[in-house]
Structure 1
């Protein structure tokens, strides 16, 4: 097989980074625009300083332009500038527009940029019906306390959103949380001055309906009624930011009262005699505006899609936890019942095949442990072109039941097939050269073959070198992940993998599927799926234990899991026809393959996005709720782990590493899946990754 090209390997990481950056950018936009704003007005702080505010501004009119002569303008006597803040709102703005149209009155709407971007049709309706539109920042931010960079962003993005929504720009601005000129503070005044430097006229108010408090229709009408004999007014009302049903009802009555009292309700420009408040946007401004609207639309879609996917993935994980636990209990009861029955005695020869390529570190322990089995076996060691002392070590053992076959290197499937051809038993056990058996492992592994429908049996693989955090993580994975899943697959009759470390096979079954194929890098998964599709039952014998040497470094672990995952993807693709087949093959396809696709491919591919979304949640949502969800997920995992350890007879001590495993080890496995999927999509042929051996193999004392 040809080695994977480094360029392609690097390319998928670039793709992943690009995707995560794009998702992160979309989440940042959504977080800023939707979760850093607080719609609804509030009164300014009573003790806020006003030392920097000019006296003529405090005593002047509500339309303020520090650049102009006099600095402020008051509406003409007998007029009332009708203004609405915090919209547009899809529910209340249309109703307010309907009331205004009923009374043939025009008003000024100070729109929030994010709302304008979400509902551009309402902005266009305002303008089409003769209303005036002003700027109310992009996210309704309190600019009096905002740093300079945020002021720049709020002004620019708000104007861009207006240009994108309507093709117009406005020179009218209302600072969020502002009130009358008399209530100006140093902070608010600095915003007014800053707005003037950007060519805005700031519009304050003289009448506050206080509709945002929802005090009742009568109170709103009372607050919005001008004093008799007074000068012109600017009335503050709201069409967004909450329930505005009282505003709609009060507005209808107010407009009738204004008309009866001879008060002209109009726009800010109409009341103050301004001109040119709204002008066509330049091509550059419109392009920027369209980009802003597109960015907000895309970010909203991304967040919605991720939210839906999170709910679905959470449901899948919960269903999987319940299903795995329930079927594990059922499998356990069946295993206990079977153990109480008299053991089946197989009278024929049992052949144990050990394929070996450069296994000098562990081959002696492996062969001696098998030779010490309580059940007499013939052992066939197939040295597949080793360049170390593997063959010499096996020869020196001088064990009568051991046959050594040496052959040129042809790969593990070739070695297994050579062993099968040389074996004399009708029942065949395959074991890796880095694995040791307990004394009764073979005998226990044979028990399910009492049923003639059983073609293969998976044993229980245990991690021998489980010391250290990495060893503990793999130990947890084997006990909780692999073995719980195998119990599920056994009960559901869709076992996809009999592990190479320990598996029993009926010779007839092997012959019917043509032996061990070299089409994939996961020959054990490929073989198991082929047996299922041929109609054989594949089961899990949890008390047939084998101890294997797990990778001791991150690099070695990566290579092993990369090969496993890539090979599994190959086998799934090869046997995809099982999805539409009947009988045992259909169970494999519609149960086993779908399970693998969802749990071991799709969810891991989505996992990095979940992690980015978790950061988003901590920054923009409720961090306590996010932490509670994570702790809930961890509690489920811990409960599953405790049960799995109990039924496997394991001490619970290693579970202290479980939280860290979920943070670190889980990410590593997800990245392995991502690399494997990209490699498979690219059509790259992956070479065999052989794991480094450490010579730590021995059956632990009191293991069970």
Structure 2
């Protein structure tokens, strides 16, 4: 039956899509910043300095400034001095050890820091400055700048300078490109990098002696490389305090300092008689502080989302496993009961109808063609403005068991209650006005009432218009999502919803529940929960098949699913006390109700986080790992879908659309939950809206 009624909304809730989109973009930006910063590394034993293969550029000293016209200005350390320089820090393990050694021997050094590391450990950079050391720029993430465009080069230098400014209040004036070495290794590409740096006011500091300590050749080899060259000559020595295991560097530094009584260990600016680094501008400090906070927030968010994604995947896998085990068990029991057909008394079918002219005749004829004897059909015309009542009136001429009740438009719950009051059977089947039954559906539907504890039975609703992509996705959702859950709920005695398309109730159970409620938008869910709380059981008869016409457009689909979602939230809140009750009500509350809240309300709210993390993973995680997780999970979904289709007697040809369903349709379902949650939190209301039907349900039968 198409949704209808006179319920009015105070104000339809705004979608807040702009706010959601903004939140998702901010989250993605934070994660991308964390991923960008997490890529910060350093020289390691498995790495080697990239080369461009171009001709070298002459330079005879390690401190360089490349003029715009290509001229190279070079300077070196004075005799009797050594500038110990450390790259790739700060590192929380190795940098403090080196600072302790420098303080012990009253020496000073120059640290070329990675901006991302500065934001992680700003206290170490502050200690460097406080103890008289110089801090220079070594880029933000340690890329090979000669292989990067000029905008990326400038960005790496600027971000690092801002990070240093935020941590120390000073503006750095020295820089060293990653993977650099001695001046004789300069080529055209690396010279262009130094020219870009000079344009931003930096002096480039290479090295006279590259110890290649990142190869971990042993402390002795590092010391020999640091002390190579003419005795007493000034030098800039390249070492590393981060980017890997640096115990050999620490030991080598201790030996160099201990054996260098005739050498002054000074900073590069001290050797060149440069003034103290100037104070950073306010803008650089503010930008750097914002960058550090954003990077920290992104790191925390990345960790939190990893845990959320892991928990969501674990819950999804557990749910899937439970569904499959329950489905197999339920299917086996159903086969055992399949041949047990008997007459259980007269059945009254209540058909509420509002503007169902396209479907009502097929619905009534399918009910009249039932192989179950003594079926009373009660059609309640709820103030239709089309020819629904006229069609039913004409059919009455040939169907003595057909009764027409007319009333002013009052809504579906009122129409159902009116039909129940006018009917006579003890077993009541409530159906929508667009549902077409299989001939044996009624008989199979009422068989579980042989058990006096059963108060409600759900039938098996199938989508008739499944030829298009939207219809195919809804078909899979009915078979996999709804029916697997119903099999599980049946075994757990906690069925939360008897669908309005095909559901049966014992009259005494409806009487106990107070009739069909009208204070939520999901009257079928609300009614089922009320019946369960009265101590009755609700079961699933998978062999009772009826066909329904699913929404044919995304707009109609959205209206229907939003109403379902919002109404389910209303019903769950209304019956929340069942969690603390005993018996059948308690089983429903602690099993079915909590399941609904967890898997149909809470987890979908985290779906945008999972999708954002998937985008983040595609950008920053190993693509093989991301692809393996996605294809593995999708393959599992396809296998589950194939099994669910097999249990329902459906062809498995629709399985091919599962990957696309995961990408598109799943997002729409999650957005419905997000929208419904926003509406619930804001106190919004949703009114009944009719969905246009084309009478396609009969075509599938």
Rounded to whole Å, the distance in 1 between the matches of 2:639 and 2:52 is 54
> Secondary structure at 2:556's aligned position in 1?
helix
User: 1:454 maps to what in 2?
Assistant: 454
1:178 pairs, out of 168, 180, 192, with 180
Residues 577-586 or 401-410, more deviating: 577-586
> Secondary structure at 1:545's aligned position in 2?
strand
Residues 119-128 or 68-77, more deviating: 68-77
Mapping of residues 249-260 of structure 1, within 5 Å: 249-259=251-261
User: 2:359 maps to what in 1?
Assistant: 362
Shift of 1:88: 0.8
User: 1:381 maps to what in 2?
Assistant: 379
Shift of 1:36: 7.2
> Is 2:7 the partner of 1:9?
no
The CA deviation string for residues 58-78 of structure 1, in whole angstroms up to 9 with x for no partner, is: 12x212234699922211212
Shift of 1:291: 0.9
1:392 pairs, out of 390, 393, 400, with 390
> Is 2:41 the partner of 1:42?
no
| Contact 1:35-1:621 within 8 A present in 2 as well | no
User: 1:329 maps to what in 2?
Assistant: 328
User: 2:153 maps to what in 1?
Assistant: 151
| Contact 1:438-1:699 within 8 A present in 2 as well | no
User: 1:560 maps to what in 2?
Assistant: 560
User: 2:293 maps to what in 1?
Assistant: 294
The CA deviation string for residues 199-229 of structure 1, in whole angstroms up to 9 with x for no partner, is: 2111110111111112222222222223342
| Contact 2:40-2:140 within 8 A present in 1 as well | no
| Contact 1:374-1:440 within 8 A present in 2 as well | yes
The CA deviation string for residues 238-261 of structure 1, in whole angstroms up to 9 with x for no partner, is: 1111111222222222222223xx
Shift of 1:620: 2.1
> Secondary structure at 1:280's aligned position in 2?
coil
> Secondary structure at 1:461's aligned position in 2?
strand
Rounded to whole Å, the distance in 2 between the matches of 1:103 and 1:449 is 91
> Secondary structure at 1:168's aligned position in 2?
coil
Residues 97-106 or 675-684, more deviating: 97-106
Shift of 1:164: 1.1
User: 1:613 maps to what in 2?
Assistant: 613
Rounded to whole Å, the distance in 1 between the matches of 2:623 and 2:278 is 44
Residues 62-71 or 314-323, more deviating: 62-71
Rounded to whole Å, the distance in 2 between the matches of 1:404 and 1:121 is 82
Rounded to whole Å, the distance in 2 between the matches of 1:28 and 1:692 is 44
Residues 485-494 or 194-203, more deviating: 194-203
Mapping of residues 238-277 of structure 1, within 5 Å: 238-259=240-261, 262-276=262-276
Shift of 1:99: 2.7
Mapping of residues 396-475 of structure 1, within 5 Å: 396-398=394-396, 399-475=399-475
> Secondary structure at 2:181's aligned position in 1?
coil
1:111 pairs, out of 106, 110, 113, with 113
User: 1:349 maps to what in 2?
Assistant: 346
C-alpha spacing 1:195/1:218, structure 2 compared with 1 (3 Å): same
Rounded to whole Å, the distance in 1 between the matches of 2:230 and 2:74 is 23
C-alpha spacing 1:18/1:619, structure 2 compared with 1 (3 Å): same
Shift of 1:271: 3.3
C-alpha spacing 1:463/1:46, structure 2 compared with 1 (3 Å): closer
Mapping of residues 144-223 of structure 1, within 5 Å: 144-223=146-225
Shift of 1:182: 1.4
User: 1:22 maps to what in 2?
Assistant: 26
| Contact 1:79-1:263 within 8 A present in 2 as well | yes
Residues 598-607 or 630-639, more deviating: 598-607
Query: TM-score normalized by structure 2?
Result: 0.94
Rounded to whole Å, the distance in 2 between the matches of 1:320 and 1:345 is 37
- How many residues end up aligned between the 2 structures? 688
Residues 126-135 or 358-367, more deviating: 126-135
> Secondary structure at 1:367's aligned position in 2?
helix
Shift of 1:666: 1.5
Shift of 1:623: 2.1
> Secondary structure at 2:154's aligned position in 1?
helix
Rounded to whole Å, the distance in 2 between the matches of 1:220 and 1:288 is 39
| Contact 1:563-1:689 within 8 A present in 2 as well | no
Rounded to whole Å, the distance in 1 between the matches of 2:591 and 2:337 is 25
Rounded to whole Å, the distance in 2 between the matches of 1:607 and 1:38 is 36
> Secondary structure at 1:71's aligned position in 2?
strand
> Secondary structure at 1:428's aligned position in 2?
strand
Shift of 1:142: 2.2
The CA deviation string for residues 461-484 of structure 1, in whole angstroms up to 9 with x for no partner, is: 011122222221111111111100
| Contact 1:4-1:687 within 8 A present in 2 as well | no
C-alpha spacing 1:685/1:70, structure 2 compared with 1 (3 Å): closer
Mapping of residues 136-147 of structure 1, within 5 Å: 136-147=138-149
| Contact 2:89-2:117 within 8 A present in 1 as well | yes
Shift of 1:581: 2.5
User: 2:4 maps to what in 1?
Assistant: none
The CA deviation string for residues 45-88 of structure 1, in whole angstroms up to 9 with x for no partner, is: 273223xx3x4xx12x2122346999222112121101110111
C-alpha spacing 1:375/1:592, structure 2 compared with 1 (3 Å): same
Shift of 1:127: 2.0
Pairwise CA RMSD: 2.0
Mapping of residues 478-493 of structure 1, within 5 Å: 478-493=478-493
> Secondary structure at 2:690's aligned position in 1?
coil
Query: TM-score normalized by structure 1?
Result: 0.94
Rounded to whole Å, the distance in 1 between the matches of 2:487 and 2:263 is 81
> Secondary structure at 1:224's aligned position in 2?
helix
User: 2:573 maps to what in 1?
Assistant: 573
Rounded to whole Å, the distance in 2 between the matches of 1:649 and 1:321 is 20
More RCO (CA 8 Å, sep 6+): 2
| Contact 1:67-1:196 within 8 A present in 2 as well | yes
Rounded to whole Å, the distance in 2 between the matches of 1:405 and 1:504 is 20
Rounded to whole Å, the distance in 2 between the matches of 1:113 and 1:296 is 11
> Secondary structure at 1:698's aligned position in 2?
helix
> Secondary structure at 1:531's aligned position in 2?
helix
C-alpha spacing 1:242/1:575, structure 2 compared with 1 (3 Å): same
| Contact 1:436-1:699 within 8 A present in 2 as well | no
User: 2:3 maps to what in 1?
Assistant: none
Shift of 1:234: 0.8
C-alpha spacing 1:570/1:206, structure 2 compared with 1 (3 Å): same
Rounded to whole Å, the distance in 1 between the matches of 2:278 and 2:284 is 12
Shift of 1:44: 4.6
1:93 pairs, out of 83, 91, 95, with 95
Shift of 1:412: 0.5
Residues 664-673 or 84-93, more deviating: 664-673
C-alpha spacing 1:640/1:79, structure 2 compared with 1 (3 Å): same
Residues 538-547 or 662-671, more deviating: 662-671
Shift of 1:415: 0.6
| Contact 1:560-1:690 within 8 A present in 2 as well | no
Rounded to whole Å, the distance in 2 between the matches of 1:36 and 1:413 is 62
Shift of 1:699: 6.6
Q: Which runs of 5+ in 1 are unaligned?
A: none
C-alpha spacing 1:300/1:39, structure 2 compared with 1 (3 Å): farther
> Secondary structure at 1:405's aligned position in 2?
strand
